[in-house]
Structure 1
Amino acid sequence: MAGHSHGQGNDDKNSASKGYEIRDVKTGALAKWLLVLAAVIIGTYALTVGLFRFFSAQEAAKDASAGVTTPAFGPAPADADLKWPEPRIQKAPADDMARLRAEQVRRHSRFGDTIFMLEPDLKNGPGGIRDLCVGRWATQVRFGTSEPSKLRDMGELSSRQAEAMDAARDWFLRVRCALHLAAGRRQEQLRFDLQESIAPLFHLHAPPIESRPGVASAVEALMHEFQRHARTVSRETERLLLRVCHSRNHKPTVRVLRPNKGGKADTVFNLADGAIEVKDPLIFDEKPSEMLRLFALSIEIDRPVGRRTADLVAEHAMTATEALRKDAEAARLFLQILLDTRDARTPSRLEQMHDLGLLSALIPEWEPLVGRVQHDLYHVYTVDQHSLYAVATLKAIARGEMAADYPQVSAEFPSVTRRTALFLGLLLHDVGKSLGSRHDQKGARLAAGIATRLGLIPADVRLVEFLVREHLFMSHTSQRRDLEDVSLLEHFARACENEEKLRQLFLLTFCDLASTGPKTMTHWKSELLAELFERTLKFMRRGADLLHAERVELVAERQKQVRTLLASEVDDATLIDLFAGLPERYFTENEAERIARHMRLVLSRKSVCATEVTHSPRGSYSELVLVANDVPGLLARVAGVFYANRIDILDAAVYSLEAQDGRGRDEAVDVFRIRKEPDGAVTDENRIARIQADLEAVLAGKVTVEAVVARRPSTPSLVDRAKPTVPPTEVRVDNEISPAFTVLDIFTEDRPGVLFAITRTLAEHGLDIHRSRVGVAGDRVADIFYVRDIATGSKITDPTRLNGLVKALKDALPTSSSQRKSHH
């Protein structure tokens, strides 16, 4: 593309001048945007650049970064495509290079310091247009040209790098024009709603997303292209800046490399200024596996790979796929690097290999994951980067770096005996993401083929296949099911088969959750995951009968402990009477000290309700215990009060204390794990007092819950701004997983009042909620309810009633964000 610019300067000027002329005619605005649309769709370089200049010249002139000056050229141009004098080599002024660097750092800190932004800034963000300009300004000062084609001819860029830089520049200019068109004004941030508006203009072909029908696949294809080009700009600009600062007269200090102290000198690599460099580049053609040995060596001696050698690897990797796939030594070295927990650098050697294209060359099935974006708020990182972060997390666990925060996963890693399968399964767990729905099943087949090709033994191939196929199973089970249910534990244990597979799935699931986004792993999720692991492990070792016997013993032991704790406060007969009215699971789910506190609350209640609030040791959530009359719709009213006070419910354990011997009305002892929006324990005493007062008023009938909800303060939040289109509400009914309850899985858009709407609907349909678990994944919630018919105490099995319930739930929940007017 760079070659076109010299012969079309007049065309560019004409484009701009015509733009000024159409401002004064009635159809000017329409004509202007039609020209932009033509440039975007057709992709004509001269037209795109001409219009880009017209629409952005004035604002670029005001940009602070355009004020970088050099002695040779004065103010640095802000435009991304200007003519420069003929190439000449000169020294780059150090203060100008420092100024460019400082501006880049400041800009990145303001607009995001990573390309992994859900709504990136095309102009100012990392890997964007301004970074492109920084590289061009620097090379103009140092080499007398900013044109990639001329830098290629001078030997400062390879053909691949020059073509990639030109393609990135062309793409950014076209998308920026489309962005301005869609917004109707200057707009640099590629917001979710604008992504959906402009994606169809580019005719990007992508298979439909069957698992998320509300999401346009073209949007993910568009953002995939952004990631690809932003990576190019970020990587190549950094290399150009290093070249600019590198003196041609510098003679590196070269040392013989001896991997083993006192051993033979390495015949392929040496050390130049402390970095590993290849002696003869032709070795990568003759023996491609040396590219992998390079990174294994880098870990072994803890030295970086040199810039020149890294560039050579990137060039050779493009043509080495067939040779690498058939090379057993390359496979062995790759697995060695994958499993080497000493690789603690940032970025890791595995990430560096990926960045240079070596991972895709060795595993072609990896390439469709590169830069792959998911159009939601949950998956912050691209699929490839998420998978690499997951491996880095596992290595950190292996080194003991996470023991303080997550002792359970750290304690289990040493017991893993088949680590090759674990590391490879983790790297490939999302390899099916490019294949549409059921990516776990499709990915398992791909992963098995890759594992076989890499030379794993059949047993490890099967284990890799299992891990990829079931990589969602443990997180879904731990967050959406009643972990006290023995039938659930039996089902999960049967799926895992043995302790090794259970342990590996536990570690893989943790690393998967921890690397989806910066805040996706919470202590609440890790506790649930560890609880499922421990309970299933116990089930495997002891069996259902022994577990049941132990359960009976546990109930008796805890009742005995509570009687001891309360001996001086409550007579034994009263406690025995209370114990008889509580379900067995209450005693297995709560320790003796907590039960004692609950009993004090029951006996001290003087009004319509009594509450107690405590906080988790880490301060990640609070626990509110409510004792009140057990009446239909109680949970809906409580949910409404929490919603009105901007409180999220993480989990609700609902227990009925049945009256004994005419003692009075049945009571509810409900335990809620809650947090303030958006996270953290509810420690504000005034806020707690408001919640307690609202509960008293609503449960006493002094005010309706609807009135309390109506006074919820309205303040701007993520909900009030543009969000990705969310798939329609989905309601699943499961009458198999629990022997006593119908389980409802409800997936819907995360909007204020969702839980209140659900619980109110369930109450209106005569359902008693036994257990509720709430999960949020970005812009969607997964609310799980164990319910039964209030009248019969049984599951809901009538198809007509179930269909009516599903319809009522969908009607009660908010419509997709695609049907709401977006905020500009």
Structure 2
Amino acid sequence: MTGHADDPLRALIAATRQSLSSGAAALRAAYEAHPRTATVLKGRAHLVDEAIIGLWRACEMPPQATLAAVGGYGRGELFPCSDVDLLILLPESADADLQARLSTLVGALWDVGLEIGHSVRTVDECLSAAAEDITVQTNLLEARLLTGNRALYEDFARRHREQLDVRAFFKAKELEQAQRYARFNDTPYSLEPNCKESPGGLRDLQMLGWIARAAGLGRNWRELARRRLITGEEASELRSVERFLQHLRVRLHYLAGRAEDRLLFDHQERLARIMGIEPGAARRASEMLMQRYYLVAKKVTQLNTILLQNYGAEIFPDQQGPAITINARFQAVRELLDIRHENVFEQHPAALLECFLILQQRSELKGMTARTLRALWLARKLINAAYRANPAHRALFVAILQQKRGIVHEFRRMNQYGILGRYLAPWRRIVGQMQHDLFHVYTVDQHILMVLRNMRRFTMGEHAHEYPLMTRLILGFEDHWLLYVAALFHDIAKGRGGDHSRLGMEDAREFCEQHGFAAADRDLVVWLVEHHLSMSQVAQKEDTTDPEVIRRFADLVGSERRLTALYLLTHADIRGTSPTVWNGWKGKLLEDLYFATQRLLRGATPQQALGLDDRLDDARRLLRFHGLRPGVEDELWAQLDAVYFMRHSPDEIAWHSRVLYHRPDAAEAVVKARVAEDEDGVQVMVFTRDQPDLFVRLTGFFGRLGFSILDAKVHTTRHGYALDSFMLQDPSRAGSYRDLVPIIEHELAARLNTPGGGPIERPSAGRLSRQVKHFPITPQVSVRADEAGRHYILSVIAADRPGLLFGIAEILARYHINVQAAKIATLGQRVEDTFLLTGSALTQDAQVLRMEQELLERLQV
């Protein structure tokens, strides 16, 4: 294939590339004029068939070789930007000449603009690869002959079919689905789901097709209905949800111009408009699209569960076993709960809740049979106001909450099959409801179930290593099932308008009264729902080293039982918002607030509650442990006031003292850094003669290095030195911070020791995140005096972005305002920062107003 022989091939490549391009444009135009999935999926597969066969022939492939389409392409379905998977079958390994031709062919396929995935194998190699890899086996299952040696292809197809172990294939695909679900936290309800891979996506439907094909059960939904594996109505539903997901994926590919399967915020609004969805009076078009998507995904997971069970009964008929009677309504079949006759729920409505209770109480049961799930879904509308008012039904619901196992599993199942939304009327409003607060990554209902899951994990021994304090507290908490009720109601009023905490409190009160809770239990649940945000707000926004702050929080809590309950709920709530929101530093803030408040409630004075004397004693012990003789710290500590000791932990005090005890009057700046205790960040200490704009310089330096500042403690000693501490984190960093410690120490010290401090470093503005672009936050700024009148508190709410803290510090410096402490709370893409300030400008209303206006302008995205 050299010399002039290349010229015809090059000409064919150019012509084929043009043909594919014009053909794809024609398919898109036809689809947009009359949206039918077959137009694109079948049309593109046919277009690619012609191109590939033409190039195969042009490359003069030998007649004994075979070319087959596999995977989705083998199925005859190609989305606009999907890869093209090919199998080149050979009777024996390729010689040098054939390898050269194959290389030319593959290069030509790429040159015409196709994203090719290919394998070159003999039949024996195909069978060996399929035996070792379920993905290969699945791809080969959908193989389709394109061109070449038909006899070789038919030999491969026959031998592959003979080798296929249907039972092993079924089990492997079930395991594969479970692993895929785990990657997406077992939920289709994330705010940016993958319409192909997420639970409830196209992959769930494709898997059903693969198993049916492997087991010879049918090649489409209609054939499965004829075999009574699904009902005719379910076959229609499967066709409908499949078409919706296919349309969604086609539109996504066209919109993104690439193989994009994630419903990113960037695309949701435009996608909704393209699909003809208009905004409502109070809801975006994207919200309406996503709620529709979640309902489709929910239906897919329901039907996937039903069909997999029916497949299992067909594939493993010898494992049926006799039914074991449980009671007059239910029996056990193959470790699954089964109704004893088709009209159980109509004749015994209490069974709609009883079935979940039985699953909790009988650990040998792994789920429900397909006919039970189907009957449950169809009978859900029996749950009405009269049903909810029945004392027996109320007792069943409370019993489900009180069980020792299976609570999260069964509440998820109740939500999946519409039972929870029918029994808890307010729940219906939050199913599939998005939360565009740049903080939560789940819909409201799924967030609540994640909080319930977290609360349950606190009680389990296998998770005690993750939450040792939580486990100890909840196991010592009498009737800790009441916390599950608080978890269910804490966000149940989201999206109604008004304060969701107060609205949810009323829902919780009504539930508790209807279900016969004792007055003390009712009051606890109602109080928790009303104040479920209070502890995180105090810990992350207020100065918890201020005795007055601790006293006010203790007054709010009132008792140690409430304190412990709120601590557990707060911990579970924050962890249930997003995998990225929680960090060890937030955990430490909550823990410190918990123990300080606990000591105050047990009779300590506010100073004792903050443990000032204990802190000093603990710090001294740490200094002795490190070999420093008694008294070496006295000269340094004489320059530090009580505020410093209350704001720093014993470990931090001892660390500062070890570094500074021999140089309390250091002529040059001292900078020390260390990796945080949980390895998720770096702590930096700066000791230098106080100087103008120091806080601006420090935030600029850290911002240039790409750090987010989680916490800042700014202190001025009695002899005019700044002793500042920062907790830093690099959100993009995957490895250890240890290599950054010497860099920070050397570079920052050099800058601070430059005469005049050198020029202020301005961090890069960076790029706004996708979430901030599509769901902007209106910034809020407020300045108020604290209750003692000694300081002022600046509160800032804004969308997070690089250089944000530097911008705030720069404006404060311009007004000669000193930052005494900073609480930096980053909630996903939203920041809620609080600064403790001093400065004469703060006493002048006109100055404060101008400063607030400048801050608002700087915070605008």
User: Counterpart in 2 of 1:614?
Assistant: 674
Structure 2 distance, partners of 1:71, 1:510, is: 45
User: Alignment RMSD, CA only?
Assistant: 4.2
How far has the Cα of 1:483 moved from its partner? 0.8
Give 2:778's aligned residue. Answer: 728
Distance 1:453 1:168, change over 3 A: farther
- Structure 2 counterpart of 1:539: 600
SS in structure 1 of the partner of residue 342 of structure 2: coil
Change (3 A) 1:440 1:199: farther
Q: 1:713 to 1:758 in 2, by over 3 A?
A: closer
Indicate the SS of the match to 2:427: helix
- 1:613-664: CA deviation from partner (whole Å, max 9, x where unpaired): 23343323332211011123211111111122223321111111122xxxxx
Residues 446 and 699 of structure 1: CA distance in aligned 2, closer, same or farther (over 3 Å): same
Residues 212-231 of structure 1 aligned to structure 2 (within 5 Å): 217-231=284-298
| Structure 1 alignment gaps of length 5 or more | 1-19, 41-46, 79-90, 209-215, 259-265, 660-665, 816-824
Partner of 2:104: none
Aligned residue number for residue 316 of structure 1: 379
- Offset at 1:251? 7.3
C-alpha distance after superposition, 1:347-398 (max 9, x if no partner):
7122222222221221132122223333465322332222222222222212
Deviations 1:490-522 (A, max 9, x none): 222222232222221111111111222234332
Report if aligned partners of 1:72, 1:141 keep a CA contact under 8 Å in 2. Answer: no
| 1:174 paired residue number | 247
Residue equivalent to 2:826: 776
Match of 2:263 in 1: 190
Query: In the alignment, what sits opposite 2:705?
Result: 645
Pair 1:628-2:682 in alignment: no
Distance in 2 between residues matched to 1:568 and 1:138, nearest whole Å: 68
DSSP-derived class of the 2:708 partner: strand
Residue aligning to 2:93:
none
Supply the distance in 1 between the matched residues of 2:815 and 2:218 (Cα, whole angstroms).
73
Q: How many residue pairs are counted as aligned between the two chains?
A: 742
Deviations 1:416-445, CA, capped at 9 Å, x for gaps: 335343211112211112324532222222
* Post-superposition CA distance 1:697-750 (Å, at most 9, x none): 33234697767556x798xx9948996433132223343566432222222222
SS of the equivalent of 2:495 reads: helix
Distance 1:217 1:98, change over 3 A: farther
Which piece of structure 1 moves more, 289-298 or 133-142?
A: 133-142
Matched, 1:595 2:653: yes
Q: Deviations over 1:311-332 (max 9, x none)?
A: 3222222433445313322222
Q: Is the 8 A contact 1:341 1:399 kept in 2?
A: no
The 1:807–1:706 alpha-carbon spacing in structure 2 relative to 1, beyond 3 Å, is: farther
Alignment partners' CA distance in 2, 1:271 and 1:92? 35
8 Å CA contact retained: 2:319, 2:334: no
Q: Paired residue for 1:16? A: none
Change (3 A) 1:100 1:779: farther
In the alignment, the residues of structure 1 paired with residue 70 and residue 508 of structure 2 have an alpha-carbon distance, to the nearest angstrom, of 49
The whole-number CA distance in structure 2 between the counterparts of 1:658 and 1:71 is 74
User: Contact 2:189 / 2:432 at 8 angstroms: preserved in 1?
Assistant: no
SS of match in other structure, 1:288: coil
Q: Does the CA contact (< 8 Å) of 1:478 and 1:532 recur in 2?
A: yes
> Distance between the aligned counterparts of 2:541 and 2:242, measured in 1?
46
Q: How far is the alpha carbon of 1:598 from its aligned partner? A: 2.5
Asked whether 1:668 is paired with 2:722, we answer: yes
1:349 and 2:410 are equivalent in the alignment:
yes
Partner of residue 803 from structure 2, selected from 731, 753, 770: 753
- Aligned counterparts of 1:108 and 1:301: Cα–Cα separation in 2: 23
| Separation (CA, whole Å) in 2 of partners of 1:125 and 1:76 | 27
1:807 counterpart letter in structure 2? Q
758-767 or 160-169, which moves further after superposition?
A: 160-169
Q: 1:411 aligns with which of 454, 472, 486?
A: 472
Q: Map 1:336-735; keep pairs closer than 5 Å.
A: 336-343=399-406, 348-375=409-436, 378-436=439-497, 438-542=499-603, 546-548=605-607, 554=613, 558=617, 561=620, 578-590=636-648, 594-602=652-660, 603-604=662-663, 606-659=666-719, 666-678=720-732, 683-685=737-739, 687-701=740-754, 708-709=761-762, 719=769, 724-735=774-785
1:584 corresponds to which letter in structure 2?
A: A
**In structure 1, C-alpha distance between the alignment counterparts of 2:529 and 2:48, rounded to whole Å:** 49
Residues 35 and 294 (structure 1 numbering): CA distance in 2 closer, same or farther, change over 3 Å? Answer: same
Partner deviation per Cα, 1:88-114 (whole Å, 9 max, x = no partner): xxx999646866886797799789545
Give the match's secondary structure for 1:379. coil
Contact 2:780 2:798 in 1 (8 A): yes
Do the aligned residues in 2 keep the contact of 1:92 with 1:245 (CA within 8 Å)? no
Trace 1:200-211 onto structure 2 (pairs within 5 A): 200-201=273-274, 202-203=276-277, 205=279, 208=282
* Deviating more after overlay: 523-532 vs 144-153: 144-153
What is the alpha-carbon distance in structure 2 between the residues aligned to residue 704 and residue 542 of structure 1?
A: 49
Letter in 2 for 1:497: G
Name the amino acid aligned to 2:388.
Answer: R
What TM-score comes out, normalization by structure 2 length? 0.76
**1:392 to 1:550, Cα distance in 2 relative to 1, 3 A:** closer
Q: Distance in 1 between matches of 2:285 and 2:394?
A: 35
Q: Paired residue for 1:87?
A: none
Q: Which residue of structure 1 aligns with residue 192 of structure 2?
A: 119
Q: Which residue of 1 aligns with 2:389?
A: 326
Partner of 1:64: 71
Q: Which of residues 816, 823, 832 in structure 2 aligns to 1:766?
A: 816
Tell me the secondary structure at the aligned position of residue 434 of structure 1: coil
Which letter maps to 2:266? Answer: D
Aligned to 2:129: none
Shift of 1:667: 0.1
Instruction: Give the alignment partner of residue 857 of structure 2, picking from 801, 806, 811.
Output: 811
CA contact (8 A) 1:729 1:749 kept: yes
Q: Counterpart of 1:424 in 2: which secondary structure?
A: helix
Give the corresponding residue for 1:254: 322
**Structure 1, residues 196-222: CA drift from partner, whole Å, max 9, x if none?**
3223344355564xxxxxxx7332332
CA contact (8 A) 1:499 1:537 kept: yes
Aligned residues of 2:554 and 2:597 also touching (Cα < 8 A): yes
CA distance in 1, matches of 2:144, 2:346: 42
Greater Cα radius of gyration, structure 1 or 2: 2
Question: Per chain length, whose mean CA-contact separation is higher, i.e. which structure has more relative contact order (CA < 8 Å, sep 6+)?
Answer: 1
Tell me if structure 2 keeps the 8 A contact 1:429–1:440: yes
> What is the match of residue 285 of structure 1?
346
Q: Which residue of 1 aligns with 2:359?
A: 298
**Residue 229 (structure 2) pairs with residue 156 (structure 1):** yes
Inter-partner Cα distance in structure 2 for 1:274 and 1:764: 71
Is the contact made by 2:31 and 2:39 (CA closer than 8 Å) also made in structure 1?
A: no
Letter in 1 for 2:796: I
Q: In the alignment, residue 341 of structure 1 is paired with which amino acid?
A: K
- Residue deviations 1:323-347 (CA, integer Å, cap 9, x gap): 5313322222222222323227xx7
Counterparts of 1:73 and 1:514, CA distance in 2: 42
What corresponds to 1:8 in structure 2?
Answer: none
Answer whether contact 2:27 2:40 (CA < 8 A) is retained.
no
Residue 667 of structure 1 aligns with an amino acid whose one-letter code is: Y
Q: Indicate if the aligned counterparts of 2:190 and 2:443 stay in contact, CA closer than 8 A.
A: no
Q: For the Cα contact (< 8 Å) 1:676–1:682, is it kept in 2?
A: no
Could you tell me which amino acid in structure 2 is paired with residue 541 of structure 1?
R
1:316 partner amino acid? A
Task: Write the letter of the residue equivalent to 2:303.
Answer: E
Q: 1:483 to 1:552 in 2, by over 3 A?
A: closer
Cα deviation, 1:204-259, whole Å, max 9, x if unaligned, reads 55564xxxxxxx7332332222222123223323432332342286573225446x
One-letter code of the match for 1:808? Answer: E
